[in-house]
Amino acid sequence: MQYSLVSRFRGALLGATLGDLWAAASLSSSQSLPQNSAFPLQLIEVPSGSPIATPTATATCWGAIATTIARTLIQPGSQPSQWSDGRVLRPSETTSGGENSAADLLEQAAGWAIAALPLMLCYHDNFSDLRSHLSAIPASERAEALVLGYTLSQILQDRLNPHTLIAQILADLDLEKTNWALADQLAEVQHLIRAGASLAIAQRVLGASTALSVTPMPMAMALYCFLGTPEDFRLSLVRSTRQFPLSPLTATLAGAMSGCSNTTAGVPLQWRSPFQQRCSDADLLRSRWGVETEIELLHLADLLLAHWAGFYHPAQPLPLARYRGAIAAPNVIRPI
């Protein structure tokens, strides 16, 4: 069955947001959020170029940075490179001395992937262009963004084969040369899925497969949760939030992939309604994703699709509901 692109764009943003908020709520109920997880970096205005964020609207969470980048992309005359016109400050630059731990570096790499999610949606049909645009990410932290971008590209073009995806990633991205640790974990994920391994076994195996940290890489763990149940958004997200120690970024990555694959139709309605009813959830959505409501988030996904399709201009807004039918599914054209 082919799903519409608008439902996949919406599903990717909605799934990523739900994964992040679920994990953040779980963490906050048991302990305070780690500083580097809640506030991984900041975007500040720079003298030259078009800043991605002004000092009065500085994004401090990966999700908020993603929505800021999305708003930048849909501006008239914007270029993909403008997403990096804001200079990025890591926590190590805002604190005095000290080196980031291996776990912090893994979290930052996964965070970059979330920040670049709007780019992955807008350039899903040309991976070579997307790879070029992702070059703004530091080389040591780029691999996870490439893996997420490649996976979303396969989903959005209706080419996803869960049984061969990891083999394709390893071959096409040449991860053995650029990031051997991630390549090793992805190979382990492939074996675990084929064996039907449990979440506890997967976490133990992935945690022992890298010398960087006993904690599995967020991207590898997210792929395990998604590819193990690719047609069940609920189960993918639940598994991603039951790992220990819990990483919001793992749940965010898994939510983005599963949401894109299963679309908004695959997200249980009862999971979405609380964000329109409880003030605490609305505050969490605002602080971590920079939007006030779920409706605003979905509208941003619509604008990204319109920008990709070439029929949206901020100065002359069109009633998007009237034009969504023009783009039904990959390689399918139908009249308005």
| pLDDT value, residue 300 | 92
Q: What tokens appear for 87 in the block?
A: 């200079």
pLDDT tens per residue, range 156-197: 999 999 999 999 999 999 998 888 889 999 999 999 999 999
Residue pair 208/214 in contact by the 8 Å Cβ criterion: yes
Residue ranges of domains in the chain, CATH in brackets: 5-333 (1.10.4080.10)
Residue in 198, 250, 216, 321 with CA at minimum distance from that of residue 15: 250
Rounded to an integer, what distance in angstroms lies between the CA atom of residue 40 and that of residue 102? Answer: 14
Lowest mean pLDDT among 55-59, 235-239, 243-247: 55-59
Q: Tell me the average pLDDT across 253-260.
A: 97
The pLDDT of residue 264: 93
User: Does 223 score more than 50 pLDDT?
Assistant: yes
- Residue 43 β-bridge partners: 88
- Check pLDDT > 80 for residue 144: yes
Mean pLDDT within 271-275: 67
In the chain, pLDDT over 70 holds for what percent of residues?
Answer: 68
State the DSSP string of 66-83.
HHHHHHHHTSTT--GGGG
| Preceding amide of 245 cis, omega within 30 | yes
**By percentage, how much of the chain surpasses pLDDT 90?**
42
* pTM assigned to the model: 0.83
How high is the pLDDT of residue 20? 92
Q: What would the two tokens of residue 324 be?
A: 């969504």
Choose among 134, 93, 94, 110: nearest CA to 37: 110
> pLDDT category, 215, cuts 50, 70, 90?
low
Structure confidence at residue 87 as a pLDDT band (50, 70, 90):
very low
Can you give the pLDDT at residue 10? 95
